[in-house]
């Protein structure tokens, strides 16, 4: 089904009034005459008629002629346009949130990559540490130096990994945001955010 | 999200946006993200991250994004088409911030399409392997909600409908 924007204007205009929404709700239960509609609304018939005219113009209700009466009935297809519109509004947001999915994935992937790198560096450092201990083959001194080496390698790899994660995440921002964008972000905070990754 | 059936939960985890009219002047969005609350929180409150995803539907671009994410702080967003056309913006103030699970803020479009400020309450609920975002948007009046729906579409959003149709056909009803 196609959404007609002009008719949507009229539909939403018509529904942007509590009395008219009440009338629509009443008519959802079946046809009714002006008198029947007016009764629970504590409103004069001319006032109700004015509201009915707006609804009729929007195509939300139709009025037939039956003897002296003109019973009103709801045009469900028109009301369906509202649902369709709501679905499109939802779809716009869905699209935005899918982009957020991608961003979250990227951020988490960067964090995993950084962790991997850190682990690789740690493993390499450990291997080289073993080599040096083997070559020296002297008890407690080499052990201590090995420990120092390992400690150093871990200390070095942490900030390195963090830098990797944050620069990787920073890059596309400036590129994708466009020249007009004025971003005022605490970069330190962002790094903290990226550092605060899940396992 | 009290009684979520396994099946329903799978659907939500695929990342479907659940949107409901609530009461006579609110809209409630629910969306699952495969990331911990802290990360989602950052993506909602840090300008450099927000502008990566809140781009508006193509061909719209985000052209302004400033966020001072503290209680009493304000934010400002603006979007436009590739040549600066159909520009529209919004701003707001943070009322409550609780890292990483709760944000309450006001927002109002520059042209005030929504007949007054809307009040947005965002909850980030930790789940087994991600976060459920629960966003309640409360308009000033019932008319404002209807008005917001009407005007959002008129201003720029409708251009992207052709593209949207493609997306919609691939989307579960």
The string of DSSP codes covering B116-128 is: S-EEEEEEEEEET
Q: Please check the confidence at residue B95 and state whether its pLDDT lies above 90.
A: yes
The DSSP secondary-structure symbol of B17 reads P
Distance from CA of A58 to the nearest CA of B (A): 14
pLDDT score at A111: 84
Distance from CA of B56 to the nearest CA of A (A): 7
pTM for the full model?
A: 0.55
Q: Is the dihedral of CA A113, A115, A121, A126 positive or negative?
A: negative
Place of tokens 């990566």: B52
Q: Please check the confidence at residue A191 and state whether its pLDDT lies above 60.
A: no
pLDDT score at A128: 63
User: What is the rounded average pLDDT of the residues B29-39?
Assistant: 90
pLDDT score at A164: 39
How far does CA A66 lie from the centroid of its chain?
A: 51
User: What is the rounded average pLDDT of the residues A164-169?
Assistant: 39
Q: Which residue of A172, A190, A197 is in closest CB contact with B46?
A: A190
Whether the CB of B153 is below 8 Å from some CB of chain A: the reply is: yes
Q: Please check the confidence at residue A168 and state whether its pLDDT lies above 70.
A: no
Query: CB–CB of A86 and B21 under 8 A?
Result: yes
Query: In b/e form, how buried is each residue of A86-123, taking b as 16+ CB within 10 angstroms?
Result: ebbbbbbbbbbbeebbebbeebbebbeebeeebeebbe
Q: Please check the confidence at residue B164 and state whether its pLDDT lies above 50.
A: no
Query: CB–CB of A91 and B42 under 8 A?
Result: no
Give B37's pLDDT tier (boundaries 50, 70, 90).
Answer: very high
Query: CB–CB of A16 and B147 under 8 A?
Result: yes
Highest-confidence segment of A8-17, A19-28, B14-23, B118-127 = B118-127
Residues A24 and A39: their CA atoms lie apart, in Å, by 15
Backbone angles phi, psi at B131, to 5 degrees: -135, 135
Name the residue with higher pLDDT: B104 or A161: B104
For the ranges A28-32, A178-182, B13-17, the lowest mean pLDDT is seen at: A178-182
Q: In what order do the strands lie in the sheet with B118-127?
A: A183-184, B61-67, B74-80, B88-98, B102-109, B118-127, B130-138, B26-33, B18-22
Query: CB–CB of B35 and A91 under 8 A?
Result: no
Residues A11 and A82: their CA atoms lie apart, in Å, by 8
Q: Considering chain B, what is the average pLDDT of its residues?
A: 78
Q: How large is the ipTM? A: 0.72
pLDDT score at A189: 36
Q: Please check the confidence at residue A4 and state whether its pLDDT lies above 90.
A: no
Name the residue with higher pLDDT: A45 or A199: A45
Q: Please check the confidence at residue A9 and state whether its pLDDT lies above 50.
A: yes
Whether the CB of A196 is below 8 Å from some CB of chain B: the reply is: yes
CA-based nearest residue to A8, from A95, A87, A71: A87
What digits encode the pLDDT tens for the residues B97-138? 999 999 999 999 887 766 789 999 999 999 998 999 999 989
Query: CB–CB of A177 and B40 under 8 A?
Result: no
User: What is the rounded average pLDDT of the residues A48-68?
Assistant: 88
Q: Which residues of B touch A25 (CB under 8 A)?
A: none
Question: Residue A184 contacts by C-beta under 8 Å, 6 or more apart in sequence?
Answer: B47, B66, B67, B68
pLDDT score at B147: 64
Q: How many CB atoms lie within 10 A of CB B24?
A: 13
A12 touches B147 (CB < 8 A)? yes
| HSE-CB of B32 using CA atoms within 13 angstroms | 16
Q: Please check the confidence at residue A161 and state whether its pLDDT lies above 60.
A: no
Residues B42 and A185: their CA atoms lie apart, in Å, by 11
A14 touches B145 (CB < 8 A)? no
Instruction: Write out residues 55-84 of B within 8 Å (CB-CB) of A.
Output: 55-57, 61-68
**3-state class (DSSP) for residue A9:** helix
Query: CB–CB of A95 and B167 under 8 A?
Result: yes
pLDDT score at A78: 79
Name the residue with higher pLDDT: A66 or A111: A111
Query: CB–CB of A100 and B43 under 8 A?
Result: yes
Whether the CB of B168 is below 8 Å from some CB of chain A: the reply is: yes
Name the residue with higher pLDDT: B67 or A119: B67
Query: CB–CB of A96 and B168 under 8 A?
Result: no
CA-based nearest residue to A51, from A83, A16, A76, A81: A16
Name the residue with higher pLDDT: B7 or A86: A86
What is the chain A residue with the closest CA to B114? A16
The angle formed by the CA atoms of residues A106, A112 and A118, to the nearest 5 degrees, is 135
Q: Where are the alpha helices (DSSP H) in chain B?
A: 6-13, 37-45, 47-53, 142-154, 161-169
For the ranges A12-21, A36-45, B162-171, the lowest mean pLDDT is seen at: B162-171
Q: Please check the confidence at residue B50 and state whether its pLDDT lies above 80.
A: yes
Per the structure block, which two tokens stand in for A62? 């139709």
Q: Where are the alpha helices (DSSP H) in chain A?
A: 5-15, 18-27, 34-38, 45-57, 76-136, 139-177, 187-195
User: What is the rounded average pLDDT of the residues A105-125?
Assistant: 83
Q: Which residues of B touch A103 (CB under 8 A)?
A: 43, 49, 52-53
User: What is the rounded average pLDDT of the residues B82-106?
Assistant: 93
Residues B32 and A104: their CA atoms lie apart, in Å, by 12
**Cα separation values, A137 from A125, A147, A149, A151, B84, Å:** 18, 15, 16, 20, 71
Q: Which residues of A touch B17 (CB under 8 A)?
A: 90, 93-94, 97
Q: Please check the confidence at residue B157 and state whether its pLDDT lies above 60.
A: no
User: What is the rounded average pLDDT of the residues A48-64?
Assistant: 92
A133 touches A142 (CB < 8 A)? yes
Q: Considering chain A, what is the average pLDDT of its residues?
A: 68
Q: Which residue of B54, B66, B164 is in closest CB contact with A88?
A: B164
Instruction: Write out residues 54-113 of A within 8 Å (CB-CB) of B.
Output: 85-105, 107-108
Q: Which residues of B touch A92 (CB under 8 A)?
A: 57, 157, 160, 164
User: What is the rounded average pLDDT of the residues A153-179?
Assistant: 39
């Amino acid at each position: 089904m196609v959404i007609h924007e002009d008719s949507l204007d009229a539909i939403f205009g018509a529904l942007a009034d509590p009395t008219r929404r009440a009338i629509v709700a009443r008519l959802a239960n079946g046809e009714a005459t002006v008198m029947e509609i007016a009764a629970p609304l504590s409103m004069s018939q001319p006032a109700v008629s004015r509201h009915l005219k707006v609804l009729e113009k929007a195509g939300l209700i139709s009025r037939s002629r039956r003897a002296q009466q003109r019973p009103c009935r709801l045009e469900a297809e028109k009301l369906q346009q509202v649902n369709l519109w709501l679905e499109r509004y939802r779809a716009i947001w869905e699209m935005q949130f899918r982009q957020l999915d991608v961003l979250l994935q990227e951020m988490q992937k960067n964090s995993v990559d950084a962790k991997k790198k850190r682990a690789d560096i740690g493993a390499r450092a450990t291997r080289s540490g073993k080599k040096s201990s083997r070559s020296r083959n002297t008890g407690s001194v080499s052990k201590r130096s090995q420990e120092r080496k390992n400690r150093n390698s871990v200390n070095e790899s942490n900030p390195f990994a963090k830098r990797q994660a944050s620069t990787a995440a920073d890059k596309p921002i400036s590129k994708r945001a466009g020249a007009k964008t004025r971003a005022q972000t605490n970069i330190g905070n962002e790094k903290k955010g990226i550092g605060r990754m899940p396992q | 999200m009290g009684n979520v059936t396994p099946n329903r939960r799978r659907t939500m985890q695929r990342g479907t946006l659940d949107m409901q009219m609530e009461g006579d002047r609110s809209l409630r969005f629910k969306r699952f993200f495969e990331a911990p609350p802290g990360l989602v929180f950052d993506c909602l409150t840090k300008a450099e991250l927000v502008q990566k995803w809140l781009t508006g539907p193509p061909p719209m671009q985000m052209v302004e994004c400033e966020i001072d994410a503290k209680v009493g702080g304000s934010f400002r967003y603006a979007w436009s088409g590739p040549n600066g056309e159909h520009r529209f913006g919004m701003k707001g103030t943070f009322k409550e911030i609780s890292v990483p699970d709760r944000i309450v803020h006001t927002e109002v479009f520059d042209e005030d399409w929504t007949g007054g400020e809307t009040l947005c309450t965002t909850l980030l609920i930790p789940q087994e392997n991600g976060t459920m975002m629960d966003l309640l948007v409360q308009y000033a009046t019932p008319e404002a909600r209807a008005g917001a729906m009407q005007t959002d579409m008129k201003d720029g959003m409708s251009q992207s409908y052709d593209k949207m149709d493609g997306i919609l056909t691939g989307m579960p009803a």
